[in-house]
Chain A
């Protein structure tokens, strides 16, 4: 295993949203804007990397029969840390993400990686896996957030800077409402499936 390909794997083949199809709730709920998408992925990334490293370093101590409760307690500890830090230093972001920060505890990505990867691999590779999966999650969230914000409001504003403005203001408000999230991920997933099928047909 070389670290770079392990990192890339988290973005492509094991992409949490399009590859593993885990963690759909935060993906759809917080992607009303690019800014929220970045905030949510940063919080998830912190929890995922920390829990991966921690669980991997304790993998020989945790008895197999009680591993899931142990994983959940470890993850919940890091989530509590993130929750308190965000509440204290980024109150507007915390208010925007709302209940989805504490809900990182039950995000299937984190417990899934703990079970499938961190409990079987060493600390360094678990760290790399956490980074790769987090990057994949970030890219997808920013993509969905970008599409929804662009079509919903006509521009992308991130941390006070207007990054991009549509020449014609579409303002399809539905895109930043819940149906827009389902529509965006449905279309993206269809495109990913199409590309995969094409790749397979070529004999990949």
Chain B
């Protein structure tokens, strides 16, 4: 029973409630960092990592600090502080211990603090009153869904860069049109499957 629920949450996070195409969270990296596959993969890996970790830590903060002291109204402020310091901490640790990973992910880590997908995933988990395991699974699956869409988008944009389109459509408008088609596919494909 528990496993099935976790699986449903996982599918929810990856496809049905896909963060970029269905919920419109994290559009800045979606439009800004999808010019080539390599950097899209880099930022997505960093997002998966930070989302999972942030879900884990904010769950502890919310359940063991904010709820017992009756300060749930401080959730937004405390979560953003937790995420910002977490990102900073991860940056220190990675730079010190895994320099090779830092070289590939390093420049994307600071961007993640103000990525609304990370704050979104922890707020949605709190709003859905998920338990500990559900929160972590939801965080990880949202990150994986983010990565799938980022890779799809960057692969398409890499190829569409050589298209001969009117100059007014070049760049962002073309990106939005590609996003329309991707989103259409996601909506039609996954909303008809009852889970």
- Give A residues with C-beta under 8 Å from B: 21, 24-26, 28-29, 69, 72-73, 76-77, 79-80, 83-84, 98-99, 102-103, 105-108, 111, 174, 177-179, 181-183, 185-187, 189-191, 193-194, 197
Contact = CB atoms under 8 A, between A and B. Distances in A.
B184 interface: yes
B141 to A, nearest CB: 17
Contacts of A107: 116
Given A174-B184, A190-B168, A106 B31 contact: no
B172 A21 contact: yes
Contacts of B187: 174, 177-179
Given A80-B76, A99-B120, A105-B80, A28 B168 contact: no
Contacts, number: 110
A16 to B, nearest CB: 13
A33 B107 CA distance: 38
Contact of A79 (B76, B127, B177): B76
Given A178-B21, A182-B180, A185-B176, A197 B167 contact: yes
Contacts of B28: 24-25, 108
Interface string B56-87: 00000000000000000111110011001000
Contacts of B166: 194
Interface of B: 21-28, 31, 73-77, 80-81, 84, 114-116, 119-120, 123-124, 127, 166-169, 171-177, 179-181, 183-184, 186-187
User: Secondary structure of the B side of the interface?
Assistant: helix
A109 to B, nearest CB: 11
Nearest to B167: A197
B180 to A, nearest CB: 4
Contacts of B127: 98-99
B81 A73 contact: yes
A108 B111 CA distance: 11
B80 A76 contact: yes
A99 B183 contact: no
Contact of B177 (A21, A105, A183): A183
Nearest to A198: B168
Contacts of A186: 172-177, 179-180
A191 B166 CA distance: 11
A77 B73 CA distance: 11
Contact of B73 (A25, A84, A177, A183): A84
A189 B76 contact: no
A130 to B, nearest CB: 19
A25 B25 contact: yes
A115 to B, nearest CB: 11
B74 A178 contact: no
Nearest to A183: B180
A86 to B, nearest CB: 13
